[in-house]
A and B are shown apart, each in its own frame.
Chain A
């Protein structure tokens, strides 16, 4: 199984919106509504932002939203702030008790 495909980088100015894609196949992203998104700062463990495609854990700002169309999931960060600058990873259930991560996207706030 190959990693899910994410763009290596994304950027936006403060206040703007940025969308990060996560492309898989019908065996993972397209086949299940179990896509999660994680934010990771350098040297720190990841933190969940989105689960089950579009649900937010308590405490995560509603500036973060998730969606899915076919084999591609997306994370949108609205009203960009300086501390949104981090690495973002998607993950998806891939059947047969397996999990896949995306390659990660480095978000830069200009």
Chain B
């Protein structure tokens, strides 16, 4: 079965960077897009961007451009999201999530990674 297993919780200082990983199994990793979505405490879902694991093509939401980088290592079926210049309002649960194409629905989600930004 499809599984997306994310790295563990992180606590960071304002201004620092964080990397969240997402290891995929149960399907052919390059054949699906990987999205990153976050959810601040008590808030809604916010799309951050996506990476096409096959070609490494990325697209980021405008508000994250310049601060986020999404990459993948296909040999180990793992996607990464790096977010820099962290602020307190970046505190959220970060999800990786799979879809067939950018147009398709998200059909599988990771368990989420809590990133806490606090001084």
Structural contact, A1 and B61, CB atoms closer than 8 A = yes
Structural contact, B112 and A45, CB atoms closer than 8 A = yes
A73–B28 alpha-carbon span in the complex (Å)? 33
A45–B47 alpha-carbon span in the complex (Å)? 14
Structural contact, B45 and A51, CB atoms closer than 8 A = no
A45–B45 alpha-carbon span in the complex (Å)? 10
Contact indicator per residue, chain B 16-31, by CB within 8 Å of chain A (1) or not (0): 0000000000000000
Check B111 for interface membership: any CB of A closer than 8 A.
yes
Shortest CB-to-CB span from B49 to chain A, Å, is 9
A89–B112 alpha-carbon span in the complex (Å)? 17
A38–B97 alpha-carbon span in the complex (Å)? 13
A101–B38 alpha-carbon span in the complex (Å)? 11
Chain A residues bordering chain B, tally (CB within 8 A): 27
Structural contact, A36 and B45, CB atoms closer than 8 A = no
Contacts A36-B105, A51-B105 hold; do A100 and B47 have CB atoms under 8 A apart?
Answer: yes
Structural contact, B106 and A1, CB atoms closer than 8 A = no
Binds B, one of A9-17, A74-82, A90-98: A90-98
Structural contact, A98 and B45, CB atoms closer than 8 A = no
Q: Which of B45, B46, B50 contacts A46 (CB 8 A)?
A: B45
- Give 16 A-B pairs besides A47-B109, A93-B103 with Cβ atoms closer than 8 angstroms: A1-B61, A34-B103, A34-B104, A45-B109, A45-B111, A45-B112, A52-B105, A57-B107, A91-B47, A91-B106, A93-B102, A96-B59, A97-B102, A99-B35, A101-B46, A104-B45
Interfacial residues, chain A to chain B (CB-CB below 8 A): 1, 3, 32, 34, 36, 38, 40, 45-48, 51-52, 57, 87, 89, 91, 93, 96-104
24 contacts between A and B (CB under 8 A): A34-B104, A36-B105, A38-B45, A38-B106, A45-B97, A45-B110, A45-B111, A45-B112, A89-B44, A91-B45, A91-B47, A93-B103, A96-B59, A97-B50, A97-B59, A97-B102, A98-B47, A98-B61, A99-B50, A100-B47, A101-B37, A101-B47, A103-B44, A104-B45
